[in-house]
Amino acid sequence: MEKPSFFKVLIGDFEDKLQLPPEFVKNFFNGLPRECVIRSRIGTWHVKITGSSERLFFNVGWKVFVEDHSLELGDFLTFEYHRNTEFHVKVFGKTACEKDFAMDRRKKNRTQQRKNDEVQKISYRNGVGEAKSTLNNISQVKEETGDDFWIESLMAGPASKKRQGENTMLSPSSSSCKQYKRKTRNQVGNANGVAGL
C-alpha cells in the first residue's frame, strides 16, 4: 500500500516553520498527531505540529531540522507520512538531485580545516605578548607588556604588520576590521618586528 505523501519547495520564510499542504491536512487532519518524528537519511527530529484544522505547520523543532540539513531557498523536499506519527523526508538541492549530506559534511570539514590552518600566532621578539586571530571568529586580542599595560582590540583575519614611526602597527588584512596601534609607556619593549608570520 502506498503511503500518503506530499512535496514542498522551500520559498519564503521556511526557517522557523513550514506549512503542510492544505489538501493533505484536509484528508488527514483527524489522524495527524500534534507531535511527530521527521526522519531523513541522517537521523530523526521531534517536531510539533501547530495551527488550526485548516492551516497546520511543522513548528517547534523544525528550525533544528533546517539547520542540520543546511536547507536553502529553492530546495525541494518530499514527505511520506507513516501513520505511526512519522514523516520520512528526502531533500533535493537546486541540482534536482538528492542532497549528499556526507559530501556536505566533508566539504564543511575541509573548509574548517583551511580556516584552522590560517590561525595566526603572533609572538614578539622581545617576549611582550602573544595574540591569536582566526578568519572563523572575530576575537578579542589582548597584549600584555612588561609594565602591565593592556591593549584590547577586535580583530579578524590574518594580521599584517605596518610601520609607523618607531612603533609596529598590527592590522588585519581585511579593510573592514578595526585597526589598532601598539602603544607603550615610555616605548617599553620598542617592538621593531613581528616574528612568526
pLDDT at 182: 41
Q: Is residue 188 domain-resident? A: no
User: Per this entry, what is the length of the chain?
Assistant: 197
CA–CA separation, 126 vs 115, rounded Å?
28
Helices (H) and strands (E) in the chain, counts: 3, 14
Domain that residue 74 falls in: 5-92
Q: Is residue 131 domain-resident? A: no
Query: What is the number of other CB atoms lying within 10 angstroms of the CB of residue 105?
Result: 12
Cell numbers given for 93: 538541492
**Domain count within the chain:** 1
**Cα Rg, the chain, nearest whole Å:** 27
> Over its length of 197 residues, how does the chain's per-residue pLDDT go in tens digits?
789 999 999 999 999 999 999 999 888 877 788 999 999 999 999 999 999 878 999 999 999 999 999 999 999 999 999 977 899 999 999 999 999 876 556 556 655 666 666 554 444 444 544 444 433 333 343 344 444 333 333 333 344 444 444 443 443 433 333 333 344 344 444 444 444 44
Q: Is residue 77 domain-resident? A: yes
145: Cβ contacts below 8 Å, ≥ 6 apart: 128, 129, 184, 185, 188, 189
CA–CA separation, 118 vs 111, rounded Å?
11
Using CB atoms within 10 Å of the CB of residue 140, give its burial: 0 to 12 exposed, 13 to 18 middle, 19+ buried: exposed
Determine how β-strand 35-40 pairs with β-strand 43-51. antiparallel
Give me the amino acid identity at 23: E
Phi first, then psi, for residue 139 (nearest 5°) are: -120, 160
Q: What CATH number does residue 70 fall under? A: 2.40.330.10
Q: 103 in the Ramachandran plot: left (φ > 0), alpha (ψ -120 to 50) or beta?
A: alpha
pLDDT at 145: 42
